[in-house]
Amino acid sequence: MTPFFAIFFTFFFLRSAESLGLGATEAVDHEAWNRLQILGRISDAQDGTLQRTFLSLGSRRAMATVENWMIRAGLDTWVDEIGNVHGRIEGAGCVGHKVLLFGSHLDTVKDAGKYDGALGILVGLAAVKALVLESITEMEPVPCSLQLVAFSDEEGVRFSSTFLGSRALVGTLPDNVFKAQDNEGHTFLEALRQNGFKGTLESIQTANISDALASYVEVHIEQGPVLQQMKQHASPVVGISGQTRLLFTVHGTQGHAGTVPMTERKDALAASADIIHAIETYCRERVLTTSRDNLLVCTVGAVSVWPGSSNVIPSSTNFTVDVRSKSDSDRNVVVEHVIEYAQHVCRTRGLMFSFDRTHDAPAVDCDDQIINNFAESILHVTKDLIGTQDSADVAISELWSDSGSFNMKNTKYQHALTSGAGHDALAISQACPIGMLFVRCKDGISHSPQEHSTPEDVAFAGRVLLDFLQSNGALFSAL
């Protein structure tokens, strides 16, 4: 860069920042939270609720909005063949080196909150914008190549398959996705073509950048109450629980509710109720005896009944079973038990039983170095807010003195959480080391319009991520 161009470049971008009324600190302290409110109004739903599914109109509007913000932050942007939005800046002497990837997902569940997924994207954008502004002010390039990604699908609402965006990024999309249909009968590949993408197996493979990844970090709301209970803004994540999703189907005999004797009924719903109650009872007892430290949870979240009439004995049911644990062996024991019990109930009642294993993901450990680097960054930011390193150490040790919380583990500086929810980091872990930072959310509520993180918590997360990127630039640029 010539001296003249460097002066012009600096003047232009500093004037641009001034025109927005934002400097590096202001970007992380205010911009992410303000943009969360804007993005939270971009929705497919007409009733005022928030809903954005894979490549829906609302999702495409959100993608365009985020890409525009990336461009304004000085990033080179593109949208890959699965609909993920990328923004990248090259570090000093890092062309051709692996990249530090960070981000989260743009899609939502139905009747969603505005922080799940979007917070990680916008906190990441604010942090990288602050880095760009600092590099311009100091006339020095950023220390490593950084790539922000807004994944097109994590929730799996439209095609009943999660992590479409992040799985495509690392080349692990399951084969059944390509034939999956949405509620309107459109296949996954058709949805891509309808939105201007090539929509072929070959084109989707171009989204795979697994060989270029050094590490992946994701900022996300906790979606649980622990940080609020511990009075903490944020925490590193030590790992992500494994998950199995099953779809149980029970077939009985349909009949008139008033004429078939109780002793002769083959009631699919009654059998299902027996199975569902047993699943909850077994998992609760196991948690109280052997599985508390493994974060075992079991959920039946969706039930459908046919024909679903008040005066008809149900002939069939479908219901989901979700089993999660940070111990894969523990999870597998529970899954086998509930399947065997369901088979026993249906055999005893003279009914037919079948099941599909719709999702299986092993537990994943976050990278120890990333965990401790996030912990150090939390200390640095806390020190800035409190005043001294000793005060920060004391404050954190006092606030985290209750080490008995059910999903916490000691790190070098403080406790870290285990995630019971699946995240894009889970999919990316197939390609590179991962790390996560959880941010406090009010009352632990998520997947709900009541989902909320305060401006202070969002700003704290932005400062932590900024410090993490600043402190670890040399590490990643050496990869």
Least confident of 123-137, 148-162, 197-211: 123-137
In order, the DSSP letters of 409-426 are: EE-SSSEEEEESS--HHH
* Tokens at 43, concatenated: 């929705």
Q: What does the block give as tokens for 466? A: 């900024």
- Residue (of 265, 299, 261) closest to 282 by Cα position: 299
In the prediction, which pLDDT does 343 show? 99
Give the CA dihedral 16, 84, 100, 370, nearest 10 degrees. Answer: 110
Same fold flag, 3-241+364-477 and 242-361: no
Composition of the chain by helix, strand, coil, percent to 5: 45, 20, 35
Highest mean pLDDT among 96-110, 133-147, 262-276, 399-413: 262-276
- CATH class held by domain 242-361: alpha beta
Q: How much is the average pLDDT of 344-372? A: 94
Assign domain 3-241+364-477 to its CATH architecture: 3-Layer(aba) Sandwich (3.40)
- Over 70: is that where the pLDDT of 16 sits? no
Check pLDDT > 70 for residue 388: no
Mean pLDDT is lowest, of 64-78, 124-138, 145-159, for 124-138
Is it the case that residue 77 has pLDDT exceeding 60? yes
Tell me the mean pLDDT in the region 76-99. Answer: 88
- Tell me which H or E stretch contains 248: strand 242-251
Tell me how far apart the alpha carbons of residues 349 and 351 are, in angstroms, rounded to a whole number.
6
Band of pLDDT at residue 28, cut at 50, 70 and 90:
confident
Bridge partners of 76, per DSSP, are 88
Q: What is the mean pLDDT of the chain?
A: 88
DSSP labels, 322-381: EEEES-HHHHHHHHHHHHHHHHHHHHHHT-EEEEEEEEEE--EEPPHHHHHHHHHHHHHH
Contacts of residue 332, Cβ cutoff 8 Å, sequence gap at least 6: 244
Scored b (16 or more CB within 10 A) or e, 253-280 reads bbbeeeeeeeeebbbbbbbbebbbebbe
pLDDT (0 to 100) of residue 27: 75
104, pLDDT greater than 60: yes
Q: Does position 17 have pLDDT exceeding 60, yes or no?
A: no
- Determine the pLDDT at residue 340: 99
Per-residue pLDDT, 23: 60
Any idea what DSSP says for residue 156? -
401, pLDDT greater than 80: no
pLDDT at res. 135: 79
At 5, is the pLDDT very low, low, confident or very high (cuts 50, 70, 90)? Answer: very low
Give CA torsion, residues 416, 420, 425, 431, to 10 deg. Answer: 100
DSSP string, 53-114: -TT-HHHHHHHHHHHHHHHHTT-EEEE-TTS-EEEEE--TT-TTS-EEEEEEE----TT--S
Highest mean pLDDT (candidates 60-64, 137-141, 231-235, 357-361): 60-64
Quote the CA–CA distance of 12 and 22 in Å, as a whole number. Answer: 14
- Model confidence at 90, in pLDDT bands (50, 70, 90)? confident
Query: Angle at Cα 315 formed by Cα 312 and Cα 320, nearest 5°?
Result: 120
Q: What is the pLDDT of residue 414?
A: 54
Q: Quote the pLDDT of residue 11.
A: 39
Question: DSSP 3-state assignment of 168?
Answer: helix
CA 123 to chain centre: 14
Q: What is the pLDDT of residues 432-456, one digit of tens each?
A: 999 999 999 999 999 999 999 999 9
Out of 51-55, 344-348, 469-473, pick the least confident: 469-473
Q: Where are the domains of the chain?
A: 3-241+364-477, 242-361
Q: Which residue has the higher pLDDT, 389 or 381?
A: 381
With contact defined as beta carbons under 8 Å apart, do 324 and 246 qualify?
no
Q: What is the pLDDT of residue 402?
A: 39
| 205 CB-near residues (< 8 Å, 6+ apart) | 171
Q: What is the mean pLDDT of residues 301-329?
A: 96
